[in-house]
């Protein structure tokens, strides 16, 4: 063979070897890329699935977030409404506080007025207590005077009973009228000597000519519940004497007669005459009128 043919054969062999190398290299590369493609595809599929799952979770979270936003907006709206309501309530409370302050000031003014009134009433009460103490003292004095007068009255009644007994005895004897008259005159003389004040009051012809008027200041009842002592608003300045009788009346209605037992500066103590009570069962009251003659 010629050298050219040999060279051509060698070239062909070299080309075949190069082609074989190239083909084997391509085949090897193709297999590597296929494996890598499969791996990349699997990895991409896993990442895609992870992304889809993450996207689904994100969507859920987004929906939850949106719902939370809606709920929060609703809560914000409600809170704003509550805030407005609380502001309105605060305004009302401030107005109420102002009204309460005004009422408190008015209450303080009323309290001060009541306190002043209480002080005045306390002073009046103290004066009334003093007056009651004076009246109690007057009543005690009047009781003592009444007791003394009762003793005197008992003595006078005893004397009168004795005189009546003697008078009855003397009335039985017509022939002894002159003697009985002398004895009666002697008895009257005895009364004039023993009780000159009563004698002068009985024989005072000018006492009934003076018109005296008074008002009932107080009435006292005895332990049996019967009215027996009356205090009248008249005294020594009106020249009232003991023993004068007053007629107690109300609205032109007769009640009872009373007799003066003790005369004080501005008041007199009178004893009720039991047999002079009215027939209408009227009782003496504070404020009734009294006069010595109608």
Give the pLDDT band of residue 175 (cuts 50, 70, 90): low
Look at residue 70 and give its three-state secondary structure. helix
- State the pLDDT at residue 198: 42
The mean pLDDT value for 114-140 works out to: 82
Reported as half-sphere exposure (CB side, CA atoms, 13 A), residue 19 has a value of: 6
C-alpha distances in angstroms, 257 versus 78, 222, 238, 286? 91, 17, 19, 15
The 10 Å Cβ neighbour count of residue 218 is 18
Instruction: Measure the CA–CA gap between 90 and 88, rounded to whole angstroms.
Output: 5
Instruction: Measure the CA–CA gap between 266 and 252, rounded to whole angstroms.
Output: 25
Taking only the tens place, the pLDDT of each residue in 36-70 is: 667 767 777 777 788 778 777 877 877 887 888 78
Residues with Cβ < 8 Å from 143, sequence gap 6 or more?
Answer: 229
- State the pLDDT at residue 194: 52
271 has pLDDT over 90: yes
- State the pLDDT at residue 173: 55
Give the pLDDT band of residue 71 (cuts 50, 70, 90): confident
- State the pLDDT at residue 205: 44
The 10 Å Cβ neighbour count of residue 198 is 15
Instruction: Measure the CA–CA gap between 252 and 241, rounded to whole angstroms.
Output: 25
- State the pLDDT at residue 8: 79
Position of tokens 């009651």? 132
Taking only the tens place, the pLDDT of each residue in 7-45 is: 778 888 888 888 888 877 777 677 676 676 677 677 777
Give the pLDDT band of residue 254 (cuts 50, 70, 90): very high
Task: Check if the beta carbon of residue 184 is closer than 8 Å to that of residue 171.
Answer: no
Averaged confidence pLDDT in the chain:
79
- pLDDT greater at residue 273 or residue 96: 273
Which range among 60-64, 161-165, 277-281 shows the weakest confidence by mean pLDDT? 161-165
- pLDDT greater at residue 141 or residue 180: 141
Which range among 59-63, 143-147, 161-165 shows the weakest confidence by mean pLDDT? 161-165
Domains in the chain with CATH codes? 210-294 (2.40.10.340)
Which residue, among 193, 264, 211, 212, has the nearest Cα to 235 in the 3D structure? Answer: 264
Taking only the tens place, the pLDDT of each residue in 182-236 is: 654 454 455 456 545 444 544 444 444 578 899 999 999 999 999 999 999 999 8
- pLDDT greater at residue 248 or residue 61: 248
Which range among 45-54, 69-78, 174-183, 246-255 shows the weakest confidence by mean pLDDT? 174-183
- pLDDT greater at residue 129 or residue 31: 129
DSSP state of 274: G
């Amino acid at each position: 063979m010629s050298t050219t043919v040999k060279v051509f054969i060698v070239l062909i062999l070299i080309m075949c070897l190069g082609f074989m190398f190239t083909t084997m290299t391509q085949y090897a590369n193709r297999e590597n890329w296929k494996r890598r493609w499969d791996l990349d595809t699997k990895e991409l599929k896993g990442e895609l699935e992870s992304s889809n799952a993450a996207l689904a979770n994100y969507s859920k979270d987004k929906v939850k977030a949106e719902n939370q936003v809606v709920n929060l907006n609703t809560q914000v709206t409600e809170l704003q409404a509550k805030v407005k309501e609380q502001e309105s309530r605060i305004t009302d409370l401030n107005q109420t506080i102002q009204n309460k302050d005004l009422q408190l000031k008015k209450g303080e003014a009323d309290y001060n007025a009541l306190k002043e009134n209480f002080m005045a009433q306390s002073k009046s009460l103290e004066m009334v207590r003093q007056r009651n103490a004076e009246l109690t003292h007057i009543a005690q004095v009047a009781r003592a005077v009444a007791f003394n007068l009762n003793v005197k009255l008992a003595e006078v009644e005893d004397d009168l009973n004795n005189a009546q007994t003697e008078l009855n005895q003397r009335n039985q004897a017509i022939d002894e009228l002159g003697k009985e008259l002398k004895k009666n005159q002697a008895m009257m003389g005895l009364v004039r000597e023993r009780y000159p004040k009563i004698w002068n009051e009985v024989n005072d012809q000018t006492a009934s000519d003076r018109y005296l008027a008074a008002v009932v200041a107080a009435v006292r009842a005895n332990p049996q519940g019967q009215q027996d002592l009356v205090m009248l608003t008249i005294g020594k300045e009106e020249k009232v004497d003991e023993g004068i009788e007053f007629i107690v009346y109300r609205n032109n209605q007769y009640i009872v007669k009373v007799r003066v037992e003790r005369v004080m500066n501005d008041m007199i103590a009178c004893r009720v005459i039991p047999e002079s009570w009215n027939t209408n069962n009227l009782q003496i009251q504070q404020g009734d009128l009294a006069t010595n003659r109608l």
